[in-house]
Amino acid sequence: MATRIDDCSFWQEVWLDPRAIRRVTADASPRRPAGWEDLREGRPGVPPVEPPGQWSPLWAAAVGSALARLLAVSAGTRVTVPDGLVADTFRRALDALLPPGPQTRALTLVGPGLPAIATDIALVPQHPQTGEHWAPSGAADVVPLSWDVWAHLAFHRDRRPVPGAGTMPDEARRDDPPALTPFGPFRPDSDVFLSTLARLPEVRQPCLREIYDHVREHRYADPF
């Protein structure tokens, strides 16, 4: 597959290699969806940063949708998120959109391959084929997130340098290039955020309606 992306990182065209696709008739039996364990082994997720240092549009769209659902289940209460990439993609928006207060609710990654943890809000994967989300046990509220983004958050671990004897020669070839560093802070997709929030019944609540109107009128302000 080949794609063409403009200067603003928007996809313009997609080409499919005819040698890599096959035609399926409308009455053909559908393929059985992959199980969660199969997804873990064969679909490890999509990195959040693209060359030369731009946040992935897929991440911006997925987080924008999940952010709307997260605000809906927060009931206007402050939400705490774990440090790391989850904080890089969610914390800034939550701090900007939710009012400060002593009461907080905890957001935790929950899903296949992760230990069962009691939490207020579970950030769970959404199946890429069926659209169904992982159903955890013991979570008060559930927020689905695209599998490709969730899998990277849950299982990707950056290899950190450790002290060693001597140094590597400058001419030596490494097989572990450093991870790409983004140009600036992460920004969820405001259009996806607004369209998702508009379809949720919770948007009728005064606090969420105020957030919706504010973002619609200032869609290029922080954190968007």
- Tens of pLDDT, residue by residue over 22-57, are 887 776 666 788 999 999 989 999 999 988 788 999
Type of residue at 56: S
Q: Output phi, psi for 107, to 5 deg.
A: -105, 130
pTM of the model: 0.81
DSSP for 157-199 reads -PPPP---SS---TTPPPSSPPPP--SS-----HHHHHHHHHT
> What Å distances lie between residue 105 and 52, 71, 81, 117, 141, CA to CA?
36, 11, 9, 14, 10
**Band of pLDDT at residue 193, cut at 50, 70 and 90:** very high
* CA separation for the pair 5, 194 (Å, rounded): 24
Percent over 90 (pLDDT), the chain = 59
Beta bridge partners of 13: 4
Contact predicate 110/136, CB 8 Å:
yes
DSSP state of 53: T
180 pLDDT above the threshold of 80? no
61 pLDDT above the threshold of 90? yes
